[in-house]
Amino acid sequence: MATGTEPSSQAGATGVHTASRAAIPARHLRTDRWWLAPACTAAGLLAFIVYSTWRAFANADYYAAPYVSPFYSPCLAENCHTMRGGPNWEIFGSRWGLSPALLILIFPLGFRLTCYYYRKAYYRGFWASPPACAVAEPHKKYTGETRFPLILQNIHRYFFYFAVLVAGVLTYDTALTFRDEHYAWGHMGLGTLIFLANIVLIWAYTVSCHSCRHIIGGRLRHFSKHPVRYRMWGWVGRLNERHMLLAWSSLISVAAADFYVFLLASGAFADPRFF
């Protein structure tokens, strides 16, 4: 008697077919627009990749006092714009001749690239692995993240520490936005609100990370003996439920903050001041 679990031998069958998987000849049995979600995900991520690549290599229009683009902060080379009171740390000195953004973007981008949600997003959106639930993969075999280069995804927890440092610097940058173009304190412009919204989303995305949740509440045998960590773990867990929303929101906000600084620095318009 056939069990219906033997691998299908039908010509043209796609996906991974093993004895442990149901033998369904059709590529999928879905009738909805299952391709729309991965297509939108791929389009959104591709748009950010194109924009961030352009801005990272532009090496211009990233500082308009008191605002500095989050793509270029902290500035670790000598060829940076001098930011009065800003994070100018000339660690690389004059030896670095390329855009200073390339020195710092590797850390927040590495954190997002290895993020558990973003893995799911671009695995489905770009590699179709799998393209959607209940849709067969176009690949003949599946090895997961057990081989190079995907095994490097496991360094996500280390990128988390760097992401926290970068978020700390961006928090300092946000505090500096309460100055005017002459560096006098006690002022607030439209850019201040944009930077405030961005840093809140950056921190929310960072601490909602699965690695952060494990650092706070992992490796504990009894939560009852660690009430403070348990409460913190619960807070992070509630944020973790919205990790996907925070991932996209913070991605949009950091691009918006950079674009706003670009408009100011390029002279497109002046920053509206509230006081």
Q: Burial level of 219, CB count in 10 A (0-12/13-18/19+)?
A: exposed
pLDDT over threshold 90, residue 187? yes
Q: Identity (one letter) of the amino acid at 74? A: P
Average pLDDT over the chain reads 88
User: pLDDT at position 8, please?
Assistant: 45
Question: 150-177, pLDDT tens digit by residue?
Answer: 888 989 999 999 999 999 999 999 999 9
Q: Of 41 and 86, which is predicted with more confidence? A: 41
User: pLDDT at position 85, please?
Assistant: 82
Q: What is the CA radius of gyration of the chain?
A: 23
Go through 226-255 and write b for each residue having 16 or more CB atoms within 10 A of its CB, e for each that does not. eeeeeebbeebeebbeebeebbbbbbebbb
Q: Which tokens belong to 231?
A: 């409460």
Least confident segment among 1-5, 179-183, 188-192? 1-5
pLDDT over threshold 70, residue 21? no
* Percent share of the chain, pLDDT over 70: 91
User: pLDDT at position 264, please?
Assistant: 97
User: pLDDT at position 22, please?
Assistant: 67
Band (pLDDT 50/70/90 cuts) for residue 13 is: low
Helices (H), the chain: 36-58, 101-104, 106-113, 116-125, 156-176, 190-207, 210-217, 227-240, 243-265
- Mean pLDDT, range 243-269, rounded to an integer: 97
CA dihedral 90→95→97→99, nearest 10 degrees, is -40
Question: 74-99, pLDDT tens digit by residue?
Answer: 989 888 888 888 888 888 878 888 99
Give me the DSSP letters along 187-244.
Answer: --BHHHHHHHHHHHHHHHHHHTSHHHHHHHHTT-S-GGG-HHHHHHHHHHHHHHTTHH
pTM, 2 dp = 0.87
Whats the size of the chain, residue-wise?
Answer: 275
Question: 49-73, pLDDT tens digit by residue?
Answer: 999 999 999 999 999 999 999 999 9
User: pLDDT at position 1, please?
Assistant: 39
The enclosing H or E element of 68 equals strand 67-68
Question: 200-234, pLDDT tens digit by residue?
Answer: 999 999 999 999 998 898 878 888 888 998 899 89
User: pLDDT at position 141, please?
Assistant: 75
Handedness of CA 33, 34, 40, 43 (dihedral sign): negative
pLDDT over threshold 60, residue 6? no
Cα–Cα distance for residue pair 85/95, rounded to 1 Å: 23
Cα–Cα distance for residue pair 91/157, rounded to 1 Å: 25
User: pLDDT at position 97, please?
Assistant: 87
- Mean pLDDT, range 181-197, rounded to an integer: 95
pLDDT over threshold 60, residue 9? no
User: Which of 113-122, 233-242, 249-258 is predicted most confidently?
Assistant: 249-258
pLDDT over threshold 70, residue 4? no
List Cβ neighbours of 200 (8 Å cut-off, separation of 6 or more): none
User: pLDDT at position 7, please?
Assistant: 45
Q: Of 216 and 6, which is predicted with more confidence? A: 216
Q: Identity (one letter) of the amino acid at 68? A: V
